[in-house]
Amino acid sequence: MRPRMNIFNLGSDSSDVRHANRISTSDVDQLAYFAAVNGITEQQARDLIQRHGDNLAVLVKEARKLRELG
C-alpha cells in the first residue's frame, strides 16, 4: 500500500511519519512552506508554534491574525 500524500508528506519515505495537522519547527522545509503559504516569515512561524502549539488549524488562524495586524 502506498503512503498517503499531502502537502507536508510528499511520500518521500514511509518511515518519515508526519501528521498532516501538525507543524514541526525541526523540519526546515515544512516550516518554510507553512510560512510562505501563510504570508509570514519563518521566525514568525516559529514564534507562533512556541506560543500556540503545533496544531495546523490554530496556526493558520493565528497567522491570519498576524497578517491582518500589519
Residue-wise pLDDT tens digits, 27-66: 999 999 999 999 999 999 999 999 999 999 999 999 999 9
52 contacts 63 by C-beta, under 8 angstroms: no
pTM of structure: 0.71
CA distance 39 to 47: 14
CA distance 28 to 26: 6
